[in-house]
Amino acid sequence: MTAERSPVVRRVVAGLVAAAVVVPLVLLWQTSRAPGRFSVTETGAFERGSGPRTATLEGHAGHGGGNAATATSVDALVAPTGPADVALTLTARAERVELAPGVTTDAYTVNGTTPGPTVRAVQGDLVEVTFVNESVPGGATLHWHGMDVPNAADGVAGVTQDAVSVGGSHTYRFVADDAGTYWYHSHQVSHEQVRKGLLGAVVVAPADDAPTAGGPEVARLLDDAVDVPALVHRYGARRTVQGTTGDLPVAVPPGTAARVRVINTDNGVLPVWVGGAGFRLLAVDGTDVHDPPEVRDRAVVVPAGGRADLLVVAPADGAAARVELGGSSAVVVGPDGATSSPTRRPTATLDLLTYGTPAPLGLDPAAPDRSFDYVIGRAPGFLDGKPGMHWTVNGHTYPDVPMFEVARGDVVRMRIDNRSGTPHPMHLHGHHVVVLSRDGVAASGSPWWTDSLEVADGEVYDVAFVADNPGIWMDHCHNLPHATEGLVAHLMYTGVTTPYLLGHDSGNVPE
């Protein structure tokens, strides 16, 4: 053979080379396109983890979640029947709202305001919410962020219900088992609907006989403390607390305490600190901290979706204490008319890994029934036909992301390992996880139970939970644009199925 190639041969070779590049790309592009309608249980990459109980899942049907005879539909995973202790109707609308005099914006309201009304219950109450979508285009739902509700009430469009279209309604029923601070928001096109204000606070007061984890001093302060929900939300560039810009005054006499329930409904972290007084961090994500010591000059960094309850005592000298919310709003606790001026964010951060004192976890993380990895990465490829750098979970891109399969009663360990170059606030529905370690350093303070955990780039968290709430549960990033970009996985219980569908033609877009 001669080294000289004819022009024809050269063209053929060039064509073959081009085809060798283009054909796999086209295949990749094609296979990345999500089907028009699909079930979450049929697309994911099933993972059974490692551990002694993985074998018990063998023989179950995997994809589809079990054979028809033994399957349980998400629709059957409901609260007990019977009369509700708290019953209300929440009606969502698209309308213009006024954020400050003369400043209006297009928003979604609940019962005419954004945030919507605070839903209040006492621990143990059966809550029944009738949700009406009056005018939110494309449908809407209500998800009870941080509340371990029965799966049928979880409000995820395409997983636990269909989005409620304009003119429709849907009833949510759940028992408010755990006292604490939570919030509700739409889980249909949530990156847009949450941003535009389809949300509100939930406060569950402890039952009368419930012991406090804070100790006698905290119990005494809480006895006459004022309860202050402080839902923080940005509308465009304006940060608001309870729907208004600027400071939120809370008039109390010197020496009186306020329990400020900070709720971060935005996509980034919210640093919170107190100027003019010390504070205690009473609760994180709805769970009391055990023996919270008083601290000063520390910022509490609240992840997207997370909550922090701060106990602040109005100073004895008649001045006001300022609970600073990111530096542009504050809850001002002190006598009527007391003045205060903004303070700077302290350089030190309160580390939940060491804050408070240990207490029993109620599970043995050293003997898990099942262990999973949740490795967050970023890789070039196609996502639903779109080329780019995309989030990966254990190497997969959406919708081919893990379905972490568990059985009821499992003690589950999960290692969240963020190698994506960006921080992610990770949120598991229907369960609270306890932090065991961060970057190999064991937790040594109060049990740190969380549902919204900030995982910085390069960090590795080991967490554990008990699989005690059957269903199909999202486990996703609460920087909601990241969820639309595919940073979503699911925890699913063996044998649970869903009749609801996702995909372009389904009308359901939970992210």
Q: Which does 424 bind (CB under 5 to 8 A by kind): Cu ion, ligand C2O, none?
A: Cu ion
Instruction: Tell me: does residue 488 bind Cu ion (CB under 5 A).
Output: no
Residue 202 is encoded by which pair of tokens?
Answer: 């939930």
> Are 171 and 132 a contacting pair, CB within 8 Å?
no
Shortest CB 33 distance to Cu ion, Å: 23
Instruction: Tell me: does residue 187 bind ligand C2O (CB under 6 A).
Output: yes
Instruction: Tell me: does residue 143 bind ligand C2O (CB under 6 A).
Output: yes
Instruction: Tell me: does residue 482 bind ligand C2O (CB under 6 A).
Output: no
In the window 175-204, what residues touch Cu ion (CB under 5 A)?
none
Q: Return left, alpha or beta for 154; rule: phi > 0 is left, psi -120 to 50 is alpha, else beta.
A: alpha
> Are 350 and 298 a contacting pair, CB within 8 Å?
yes
Which residue is associated with the tokens 């959406």? 398
Q: Which does 482 bind (CB under 5 to 8 A by kind): Cu ion, ligand C2O, none?
A: Cu ion
Residue 265 is encoded by which pair of tokens?
Answer: 């409904």
Pick from 114, 186, 287, 479 the residue near Cu ion by CB under 5 A. 479
Instruction: Tell me: does residue 48 bind ligand C2O (CB under 6 A).
Output: no
Using CB atoms, what's the residue nearest to ligand C2O?
A: 145
Task: Kindly tell me which of 185 and 290 has the beta carbon lying closer to ligand C2O.
Answer: 185
Instruction: Tell me: does residue 145 bind ligand C2O (CB under 6 A).
Output: yes
Q: Which does 474 bind (CB under 5 to 8 A by kind): ligand C2O, Cu ion, none?
A: ligand C2O
Instruction: Tell me: does residue 484 bind Cu ion (CB under 5 A).
Output: no
Task: Kindly tell me which of 329 and 484 has the beta carbon lying closer to Cu ion.
Answer: 484
SS3 191: helix
Residue 508: which of 123, 165, 250, 125 has the closest Cα? 165
Total residues binding ligand C2O (CB under 6 A)? 10
Pick from 413, 424, 427, 438 the residue near Cu ion by CB under 5 A. 424
> Are 289 and 300 a contacting pair, CB within 8 Å?
no
As a whole number of angstroms, the distance between CA 431 and CA 450 comes to 9
Which residue is associated with the tokens 């005099």? 101
Instruction: Tell me: does residue 93 bind ligand C2O (CB under 6 A).
Output: no
Pick from 396, 427, 482, 490 the residue near Cu ion by CB under 5 A. 482
Half-sphere exposure of 338 (CA within 13 A, CB side): 24
As a whole number of angstroms, the distance between CA 273 and CA 136 comes to 36
> Are 254 and 333 a contacting pair, CB within 8 Å?
no
SS3 395: coil
Residue 407 is encoded by which pair of tokens?
Answer: 């059985």
Q: Which does 477 bind (CB under 5 to 8 A by kind): Cu ion, ligand C2O, none?
A: Cu ion
Instruction: Tell me: does residue 173 bind ligand C2O (CB under 6 A).
Output: no
Instruction: Tell me: does residue 53 bind ligand C2O (CB under 6 A).
Output: no
Shortest CB 138 distance to Cu ion, Å: 23
Backbone angles phi, psi at 301, to 5 degrees: -100, 110
Task: Kindly tell me which of 132 and 304 has the beta carbon lying closer to ligand C2O.
Answer: 304
SS3 18: helix
Task: Kindly tell me which of 225 and 489 has the beta carbon lying closer to ligand C2O.
Answer: 489
Task: Kindly tell me which of 258 and 480 has the beta carbon lying closer to ligand C2O.
Answer: 480
What would the x/- binding string for ligand C2O be over residues 426 to 455, using CB under 6 A? -x-x--------------------------
What would the x/- binding string for ligand C2O be over residues 284 to 313, using CB under 6 A? ---------------------x--------
Pick from 322, 424, 478, 482 the residue near ligand C2O by CB under 6 A. 478
Pick from 53, 185, 259, 490 the residue near ligand C2O by CB under 6 A. 185
> Are 118 and 189 a contacting pair, CB within 8 Å?
no
Task: Kindly tell me which of 71 and 416 has the beta carbon lying closer to Cu ion.
Answer: 416
Shortest CB 488 distance to ligand C2O, Å: 9
Residue spans of alpha helices (H) in 199-245: 216-223
Instruction: Tell me: does residue 477 bind Cu ion (CB under 5 A).
Output: yes
As a whole number of angstroms, the distance between CA 144 and CA 12 comes to 61
Residue 371: which of 405, 409, 418 has the closest Cα? 405
SS3 string, 69-110, reads CCCEEHHHCCCCCCCCCEEEEEEEEEEEEEEECCEEEEEEEE
Residue 511 is encoded by which pair of tokens?
Answer: 């992210």
Residue 334: which of 232, 272, 264, 251 has the closest Cα? 251
Residues that bind ligand C2O (CB under 6 A): 143, 145, 185, 187, 305, 427, 429, 474, 476, 478
Residues that bind Cu ion (CB under 5 A): 424, 477, 479, 482, 487
